[in-house]
């Protein structure tokens, strides 16, 4: 294994430098922009699309939708087609606000040129000539570094008119948001970019057909896009073989909570939870035991110590009853109260609900009210029935977007797995985890 | 019967040239002017500390959009201040990873030190305390953001140290511009 260059085993992170990211010359000296060069000079857009489809790359933002399939829904036109829209858009979703998730920040701050290269290739593939990086307002350093890198790319003819002497042109802008979780939902993000209140849109029409300013639009996550240059350079088979199972590529896994060594690691897609938690995060801090975990951010179902050997890929985590989400493990130890944890998560969702649809706008604060009561020791057993009912009221199909169902996932699974803890709060009329108990 | 009164403010009398040109630049890279609304709000906030009603009306006038539509955007975002805030706004992360790693202690220490609660500003106008959703520093929790700076791996002591340093800076800045004009709202 040691003989294989890091560029081939850790494609996304091998050039990450958080102190001072590579400038364009340094990035190019390390093989950067070779993927974009290959795409623009040797491939037709259709050929790139086929390559990405073949690579089995799936969205890394949380939903796991196949990228090639998403791109294939964008209408393509010949140059002289009078029905062709004036613009098509590519948008990078860098609105990383899923609690417990901090992977995109590393890519944005540590290797901004990789994302720009990825966006050139992706825009070329779908025929977009305008692109935006939609970055959350709190990521100031990342936005600055991206702008610096974009300026360099314009100077080096990787952006602008006639890129590298080809007929392809691309304008790339950074849009810094002002802090709202729902902007990570792609249709809400599009409304935000249009300067509207960022509530999600009804689908259809899908953004691929009618998105930003009513034009065909693709929205992809930072980590998803960052894979593209490497697939161009090294091929679809290489990408598929990176993962030991049916999934493809690598994944940036994270761990936070009271572990010894919280952080981020790029590993083959399908590393087990045990490997991430114990081999890389060093296990729990001394004196603590594992009580449960969220595998991929706040809006995923709890898993238990019995699930430690589950591979962290889309299918396996799904079969275990949760979702891979963003791949950022949030670890619950046995000295932290699971009810307080769920309360914290639901407060987040209640605050960040956009208020558009009733089940979410009224359901999430209702859950907070009930959970607060239970956590304070003032709950009743009937409250647990109320919570279960609310899980049903806010489930998929009853809400406008996936925010409320995302809130239900940790709640419902906590009610199932930590039922005894909920009951103890009610019976003892206090939080058994509070200091002094 | 009263009709609804709408206020308009002529942007050219209210906004500075610098503000106008920054907003115009943002409008130029969008398909239509009102799409620059959020950027415009941020620009004004950068210059004036917060977005007053009059600022909002002036931006709406500049972008040729209804002020209600801009207000609907302004009130949507956590990082747009529609009330006057202190010189430093403390954004303390209250999301899950920080919650699991000592957020309660940091919050208690800051509240006790500044003698304010969430949403309040200290009497000297230096600090405003707000919560913030996950700041993306989960591996270095607990965290907070003040201005553009993220502070990580906080302890109650280090958080107070940071505030003390900023307070000294604020005091120094104030003494320096005793005669300086205050262009803010």
Note whether residue B139 is domain-resident.
yes
Residue range(s) defining the domain that contains residue B16: 11-74
Domain end among B74, B97, B113 = B74
Q: Which residues of chain A have pLDDT under 50?
A: none
Q: Summarize pLDDT for B95-110 with one digit per residue, the tens.
A: 999 999 999 999 999 9
In the numeric block, the tokens 């010894």 are attached to: A260
Give B-chain residues touching A263 at CB under 8 angstroms: 139
Do B159 and B106 share a structural domain?
yes
pLDDT score recorded for residue A83: 83
- Structure token pair of residue A296: 């991929």
Tell whether A180 is within 8 A of chain B (Cβ): yes
Please, are residues A64 and A325 in contact by the beta-carbon 8 Å criterion? Answer: no
Q: Looking at the structure, do residues B66 and B120 belong to the same domain, yes or no?
A: no
The reply to whether B93 and B167 lie within a common domain is yes
Q: What is the pLDDT of residue B181?
A: 45
d(CA A287, CA A350): 33
Which chain A residue lies closest to B98 (C-alpha atoms)?
A: A257
- Asked if B9 has any chain A CB less than 8 Å from its own CB, the reply is no
pLDDT digits (tens, 9 = 90+) for B132-142: 999 999 999 99
Check which CATH number belongs to the domain holding B132 and give it: 3.40.30.10
Cβ of A330 within 8 Å of Cβ of B100? The answer is: yes
pLDDT of residue B184: 45
Task: For residue A266, give the nearest of A35, A388, A106, A426 by alpha carbon.
Answer: A106
Residue B181: phi, psi to the nearest 5? -80, 155
DSSP string, A227-244: THHHHHHH-HHHHHHHSS
- Please tell me the number of Cα atoms within 13 Å of A214 on its side-chain side: 5
Q: Is residue B105 located within the same domain as residue B157?
A: yes
Looking at residue B177, what is its pLDDT?
A: 61
pLDDT confidence of B178, banded at 50, 70, 90? low
Asked if residue B42 has pLDDT above 90, the reply is yes
Q: Do B98 and B142 belong together in one domain? A: yes
pLDDT, position B175: 73
* Residues B33 and B70 reside in one and the same domain: yes
Closest Cα of chain B to A107: distance in Å? 12
Per-residue confidence (pLDDT) for residue A65, from 0 to 100: 94
Minimal Cα distance from B137: which residue of A? Answer: A102
Same domain, B29 and B55: yes
Domain final position from B42, B74, B106:
B74
Check pLDDT > 50 for residue B183. no
Which band of pLDDT confidence, cut at 50, 70 and 90, is reported for residue B27? very high
List, in order of start, the domains of chain A with CATH numbers.
Answer: 6-240 (3.40.50.11540), 245-333 (3.10.20.600), 338-428 (1.20.1440.230)
Residue B44 lies in a domain: yes
Q: Taking 60 as the threshold, does the pLDDT of residue B185 lie above it?
A: no
Share of chain B above pLDDT 90, in %: 84
If one compares B26 and B175, the residue with the highest pLDDT of the two is B26
For chain B, what is the domain count? 2
Are B64 and B119 contained in the same domain? Answer: no
Domain match, B69 and B95 both: no
Both tokens of A377, joined, read 């020791």
Considering the domain architecture, whether residues B106 and B169 belong to the same structural domain is answered as yes
Give me A236's structure tokens: 């679809």
Contacts of A354 in chain B (CB under 8 A): 76
Task: Kindly report the three-state secondary structure assignment for every residue of B77-88.
Answer: CCCCCCCCCCCE
Q: Is residue B79 part of a domain?
A: no
Please indicate, yes or no, whether residues B41 and B94 belong to a single structural domain of this protein: no
Beta strands in chain B (DSSP E): 88-93, 127-132, 144-146, 149-151
- Asked whether residue B179 carries a pLDDT value surpassing 60, the answer given is no
> Which residue among B37, B78, B136 sits closest to A102, beta carbon to beta carbon?
B136
Question: B145 and chain A: CB distance < 8 Å anywhere?
Answer: yes
pLDDT, position A435: 72
A271 contacts A312 by C-beta, under 8 angstroms: yes
End position of a domain, from candidates B35, B51, B74:
B74
Mean pLDDT of all residues in B150-175: 93
Do the domain assignments include residue B125?
yes
Cα separation, A151 vs B40, whole angstroms:
22
Separation between Cα atoms, residue A371 and residue A408, nearest integer Å: 13
Which of A87, A99, A173, A259 to probe the B interface (max B CBs under 10 A)?
A99
Taking the C-alpha atoms of residue A392 and residue B41, their distance in angstroms, rounded to an integer, is 39
* Cβ contacts of A325 within 8 Å, gap of 6 or more: A62, A98, A101, A294, A295, A296, A297, A299, A300
C-alpha–C-alpha distance, residues A300 and A313, integer Å: 14
Both B103 and B70 in one domain: the answer is: no
Q: Is the ipTM of this complex over 0.85?
A: yes
State the alpha helices, DSSP H only, in A127-248.
140-155, 186-193, 222-226, 228-234, 236-242
> pLDDT tens across A165-216, in order?
999 999 999 999 999 999 999 999 999 999 999 999 999 999 999 999 999 9
- Residue B182 is predicted with a pLDDT of 46
Cβ atoms of A59 and A224 closer than 8 Å:
yes
**CB nearest A102 (choices: B37, B69, B137):** B137
pLDDT at B180 over 70: no
Res B18 pLDDT > 90: yes
């Amino acid at each position: 294994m040691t003989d294989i260059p890091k560029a081939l085993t850790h494609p996304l992170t091998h050039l990450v430098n958080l102190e001072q990211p590579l400038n364009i010359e340094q990035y190019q000296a390390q093989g950067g922009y070779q993927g974009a060069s290959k795409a623009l000079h040797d491939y037709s857009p259709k050929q790139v699309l086929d390559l990405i489809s073949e690579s089995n790359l799936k969205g890394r933002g949380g939903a796991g939708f196949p990228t090639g399939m998403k791109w294939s829904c964008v209408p393509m036109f010949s140059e002289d087609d009078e029905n062709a829209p004036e613009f098509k858009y590519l948008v990078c979703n860098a609105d990383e606000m899923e609690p417990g998730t901090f992977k995109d920040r590393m890519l944005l701050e540590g290797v901004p040129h990789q994302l720009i290269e990825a966006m050139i290739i992706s825009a070329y593939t779908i025929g977009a000539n305008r692109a935006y990086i939609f970055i959350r307002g709190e990521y100031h350093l990342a936005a600055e570094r991206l702008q610096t890198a974009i300026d360099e790319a314009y100077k080096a003819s990787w952006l602008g008119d006639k890129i590298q002497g080809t007929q392809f042109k691309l304008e790339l802008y950074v849009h810094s948001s002002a802090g709202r979780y729902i902007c990570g939902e792609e249709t809400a993000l599009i409304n935000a970019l249009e300067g509207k209140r960022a509530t999600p849109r009804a689908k259809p029409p899908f953004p691929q057909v009618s998105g930003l300013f009513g034009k065909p639009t693709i929205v992809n996550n930072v980590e998803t896009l960052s894979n593209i240059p490497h697939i161009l350079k090294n091929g679809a088979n290489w990408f598929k073989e990176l993962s030991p199972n049916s999934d493809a590529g690598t994944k940036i896994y994270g761990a936070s909570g009271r572990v010894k060594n919280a952080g981020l690691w790029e590993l083959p897609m399908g590393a087990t939870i045990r490997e991430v938690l114990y081999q890389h995060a060093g296990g729990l801090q001394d004196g603590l035991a594992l009580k449960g975990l969220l595998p991929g951010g706040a809006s995923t179902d709890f898993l238990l110590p019995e699930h430690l050997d589950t591979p962290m890929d889309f299918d396996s985590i799904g079969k275990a009853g949760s979702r891979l989400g963003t791949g950022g493990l949030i670890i619950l130890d046995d000295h932290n109260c699971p009810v307080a944890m769920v309360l914290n998560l639901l407060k987040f969702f209640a605050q960040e609900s956009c208020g558009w649809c009733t089940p979410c706008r009224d359901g999430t604060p209702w859950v907070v009210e009930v959970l607060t009561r239970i956590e304070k020791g003032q709950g009743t057993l009937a409250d647990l029935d109320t919570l279960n009912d609310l899980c049903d009221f806010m489930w998929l199909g009853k809400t406008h977007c996936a925010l409320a169902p995302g809130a239900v996932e940790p709640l419902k699974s906590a009610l199932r797995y930590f039922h005894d803890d909920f009951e103890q709060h009610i019976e003892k009329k206090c939080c058994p985890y509070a200091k002094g108990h | 019967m009263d009709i609804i009164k709408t206020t308009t403010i002529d942007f050219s009398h209210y906004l500075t040239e610098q503000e106008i040109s920054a907003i115009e630049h943002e409008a130029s890279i969008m398909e239509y002017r009102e799409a620059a609304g959020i950027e415009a709000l941020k620009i004004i906030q950068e210059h004036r500390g917060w977005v007053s009603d009059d600022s909002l009306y002036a931006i709406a006038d500049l972008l040729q959009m209804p002020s209600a539509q801009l207000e609907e955007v302004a009130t949507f975002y956590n990082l747009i201040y529609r009330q006057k805030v202190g010189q430093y706004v403390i954004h303390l992360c209250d999301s899950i990873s920080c919650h699991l790693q000592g957020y309660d202690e940091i919050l208690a220490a800051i509240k006790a030190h500044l003698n304010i609660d969430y949403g309040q500003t200290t009497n000297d106008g230096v600090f405003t305390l707000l919560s913030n959703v996950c700041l993306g520093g989960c591996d270095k929790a607990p965290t907070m953001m003040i201005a553009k700076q993220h502070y990580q791996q906080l302890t109650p002591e280090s958080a107070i140290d940071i505030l003390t340093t900023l307070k000294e800076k604020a005091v120094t800045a104030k003494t320096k511009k005793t005669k300086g004009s205050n262009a803010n709202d």
